[in-house]
Amino acid sequence: MKQKTREPIMNYRIWIGFLIIFILLNPWYFPSGDPVLVYGVPLWALVIMGVTVVLSLYITYVIRYHWEVEDEEESGEGEK
């Protein structure tokens, strides 16, 4: 079965998602001054960690569903 090839770079919508995540990955949107601590961790750091998890999730999603370029004879190779 010949599959249609998919490359992440060719889908601009994916990169809009990455851009939004990247913008949120930089902590510019927090108030300065004494930070709120949640179990000893500053709230802003927890939010950034949350965005970081979203980045990993999104990468996992893109690899899984938007990356398919191998020829059919190669994709049949077994995994050890």
Partner 1 sequence: MELAFSGTSGILIMLFYGIIMLLIGVGTYMRNKHVHSSLEEYYLGGRGLGTMVLFFTFFATQYSGNTVIGYSAEAYRVGYANLVSIPFFIMIILVYLLFAPRMYKLSKKHNIVTPVDWLEMKFNSKAVSILAAIIMLYALGNFLLEQLIAIGQGVAGLTGGTVPYQAGVIFFIVIMVVYGWLGGMRSVAYTDTMQGIALLVGVFMLLIGTIVYFGGLPAAGDYIRTYSPENLGVPEGGGLVRWTNFLILVGIGAAVYPNAIQRIFSAKSERSLKRSLTQMAWMPFLTAGVVFVIGILAYTAFPDLSVEESEQIVGMMASAIANENIIFYIAMVLLFGGIIAAIVSTADSVLLTFSSIVSKDIYGRYINREASDNKKIMVGKIVGVIAVAFLLMVAWNPPGTLYQVFVLKLEILVQVAPAIILGLYWERSHAKSVFAGMLTGALVAAVFTFAGLTPLGIFSGVWGLIINLIIYVAGSFAFGTAPTKDAVSSMDGQEATQAVR
Residues 5, 16, 20, 50: which binds partner 1 (CB under 8 A)?
Answer: 5
The answer to whether 67 and 40 are in contact (CB under 8 A) is no
**Torsion sign over Cα 73, 76, 78, 79:** positive
- The span from the CA of 5 to the CA of 11, in Å, is 12
Q: Is residue 60 within the footprint of partner 1 (CB under 8 A)? A: yes
Residues 20, 42, 50, 72: which binds partner 1 (CB under 8 A)?
Answer: 42
Q: Is residue 72 within the footprint of partner 1 (CB under 8 A)? A: no
The CB-of-30 to partner 1 minimum distance in angstroms stands at: 4
Residues 3, 16, 20, 37: which binds partner 1 (CB under 8 A)?
Answer: 37
The first and second tokens of residue 43, run together, are: 């709230």
